[in-house]
């Protein structure tokens, strides 16, 4: 049995290894089994198969504040944001900048 946070990471790594970006990783696109040891990622309508593009192809997204030209970063952000929501019950607030986000996470982590 895995913790839901670990299952989110395993799902993201599986997509990364397949050279695919889901582009919408968030709690509403995750289904946890009744036994809480299987997580399914749904809604691949925005997914990108990087096998169809050149290595230097980049994309834009409104979901992530930076970088503006991404490849896998959008799923990294989605997985991190989802895990943050699972741990703390709120979304990551990037309005104060990345260093402040990291300080807030470190301050709020259970000891």
Pair 42, 96: CB distance under 8 Å: no
DSSP 20: E
pTM for the model = 0.74
Pair 48, 58: CB distance under 8 Å: no
- Torsion sign, CA atoms 29, 102, 94, 65: negative
Domains (range + CATH), the chain? 4-49+65-108 (1.10.510.10)
Q: Which two tokens stand for residue 98?
A: 């990345």
Question: Left, alpha or beta for 23 (phi > 0: left; psi -120 to 50: alpha)?
Answer: left
111 residues of the chain, pLDDT tens digit each = 567 788 888 888 899 999 999 988 888 998 887 776 778 889 999 899 999 999 888 887 666 555 567 778 888 888 888 888 888 888 877 777 767 777 777 777 665
């Amino acid at each position: 049995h895995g913790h839901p946070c670990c299952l989110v990471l395993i799902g993201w790594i599986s997509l990364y290894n397949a050279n695919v970006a889901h582009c919408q990783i968030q709690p509403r696109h995750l289904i946890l089994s009744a036994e809480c040891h299987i997580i399914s990622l749904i809604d691949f309508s925005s997914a990108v198969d990087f096998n169809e593009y050149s290595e230097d192809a980049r994309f834009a997204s409104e979901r992530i504040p930076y970088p503006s030209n991404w490849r896998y970063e959008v799923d990294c952000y989605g997985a991190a944001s989802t895990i943050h929501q699972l741990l703390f019950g709120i979304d990551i607030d990037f309005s104060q900048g990345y260093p402040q986000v990291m300080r807030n996470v470190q301050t709020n982590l259970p000891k």
